[in-house]
Amino acid sequence: MTEFNYRSAGVDLELYEQAMQRLPALMKRTHTPGVMDLPGGFAGLFRLSAMRNWKDPVLVSGTDGVGTKIKAAIHAGKYSTIGIDLVAMCVNDCLCLGATPLFFLDYVAMGKDEPALLEQLVSGVSDGCRQAGAALLGGETAIMPDLYAAGDFDMAGFCVAAADRSELIDGRIRVEAGDVLIGIPSSGFHSNGYSLVRKVVFDHARLSSLDQIPQLNVTVEEALLKPTRIYADIVAAAIGAAGNSGIHAIAHITGGGIADNLERVLPDNVQAFVRREAWQIPELFQWLQQLGRIAEDEMFRVFNMGIGMIMAVAPDAAEATLRACSTPDYPAVVLGEIRSQSQQSPTVLVK
């Protein structure tokens, strides 16, 4: 008579334990003063008061995944940066409220125990948390052989941030006609539109991950796996330069592009006017558009087109915000302004 055990069902507990032993050091390097040590605990502990003397603290949370960019990582066999994308997609959303990232939790699902792969994935999460100033407080690794084929995996993340209630940045309340729109560059596709990217690059153009893109002077894998930019330092610098009251709204430009995401932070009585000539669309987006003969309207609807975050700021804070949000590699630009809304006009006009 056949005897069954967990290993025969596809889950090797000894291998799983080996994988778990690789993670504590990756978590420890992200710890901030708020983290409370709890060896072997079933949950993580965080002291809010260790970070700041809050008056009326509000917790701000965000959760997200990486989407089919994971497939690009699998195609290339490169896994050390996809965790940065995971952190970025969650943290950048929380930053839109002017919140300070506190801690992060990750969830990794795999078809079988692969300690080296798991270590690479969580190493990226750890790197992202360090960039965001958030502690990697805990997580979960699920081995599900009946749900994931060999070599497949998925990742999800959850960020908790905080802000004093009086300092929450809510564009629906703050934004008004005359505000200046500051565009902060992206680092590439970030983590949106990869179903279209992969369809064009791999299925249509038949490129491989190691093929060179001459006009970009990078390989396909370098272009597609460039990590999502994390804006924690930029937002902190902007608030420091303009004051919390000078920043009226922040929009994270993800799927849906500039128009859909900027509209989310605007009140009903205004229009955001974005000048198309205000910035040069990076060559990466031009390359993909030409490669797949993608209409420009579709490009703007799917991708960030080189602008990863937009701030609406008071006119007298615009110059200081522009300087604070600029780096040598990523200079911020004045995109346009907020105008009074007429009934027939779209809420966001990119022209």
Domain boundary residue, one of 133, 149, 167: 167
Domain boundary residue, one of 145, 167, 189: 167
- Is 152 in the same domain as 96? yes
The percent of residues above 70 in pLDDT, for the chain, comes to: 99
* Token pair belonging to 282: 């990076």
Domain assignment present for residue 259? The answer is yes
Query: 336: which strand partners?
Result: 181, 274
* Token pair belonging to 231: 């804006």
- Is 155 in the same domain as 288? no
**Number of structural domains in the chain:** 2
The percent of residues above 90 in pLDDT, for the chain, comes to: 87
Dist CA 89 CA 86 (whole Å): 5
Domain assignment present for residue 3? The answer is no
Yes or no: say if 58 and 163 are a contact pair by the CB < 8 Å rule.
Answer: yes
Give the torsion through C-alpha atoms of 292, 295, 297, 303, to 10 deg.
Answer: 10
- Is 205 in the same domain as 189? yes
Q: pLDDT per residue over 67-125, tens digit each?
A: 999 999 999 999 999 999 999 999 999 999 999 999 999 999 999 989 999 999 999 99
Domain assignment present for residue 198? The answer is yes
Q: Is the pLDDT of residue 343 over 80?
A: no
Q: Is the pLDDT of residue 344 over 80?
A: no
- Is 32 in the same domain as 63? yes
* Token pair belonging to 129: 């948390």
Which pLDDT score, from 0 to 100, does residue 252 have?
Answer: 98
Q: Half-sphere exposure (CA, 13 Å, Cβ side) for 37?
A: 3
Mean pLDDT of the chain: 95
CA 94 → CA 169, 268, 324, 329, distances in Å?
10, 23, 19, 24
CATH code, 283:
3.90.650.10
Which pLDDT score, from 0 to 100, does residue 214 have?
Answer: 94
- Is 118 in the same domain as 198? no
Q: Is the pLDDT of residue 251 over 90?
A: yes
What is the rounded average pLDDT of the residues 123-144? 96
- Is 67 in the same domain as 147? yes
Domain assignment present for residue 1? The answer is no
- Is 68 in the same domain as 128? yes
Q: Is the pLDDT of residue 9 over 90?
A: no
Confidence of residue 1 (pLDDT cuts 50, 70, 90): low
Confidence of residue 256 (pLDDT cuts 50, 70, 90): very high
Domain assignment present for residue 246? The answer is yes
Q: Is the pLDDT of residue 150 over 90?
A: no
- Is 103 in the same domain as 27? yes
What is the per-residue DSSP string for 129-141?
A: HHHHT-EEEEEEE
Block residue for tokens 């249509």? 204
- Is 197 in the same domain as 297? yes
Domain boundary residue, one of 130, 152, 167: 167
Which pLDDT score, from 0 to 100, does residue 308 have?
Answer: 98
Q: Is the pLDDT of residue 164 over 70?
A: yes
SS3 190: coil
Domain assignment present for residue 309? The answer is yes
Domain hosting 322: range is 171-350
CATH code, 20:
3.30.1330.10
Yes or no: say if 242 and 314 are a contact pair by the CB < 8 Å rule.
Answer: yes
- Is 135 in the same domain as 199? no
* Token pair belonging to 60: 């701000």
Dist CA 339 CA 274 (whole Å): 11
Dist CA 282 CA 246 (whole Å): 29
- Is 17 in the same domain as 37? yes
Yes or no: say if 101 and 132 are a contact pair by the CB < 8 Å rule.
Answer: yes
Domain assignment present for residue 328? The answer is yes
- Is 315 in the same domain as 200? yes
Domain assignment present for residue 5? The answer is no
Q: pLDDT per residue over 266-308, tens digit each?
A: 998 899 999 999 999 999 999 999 999 999 999 999 999 999 9
Q: What pTM, to 2 d.p., does this model score?
A: 0.95
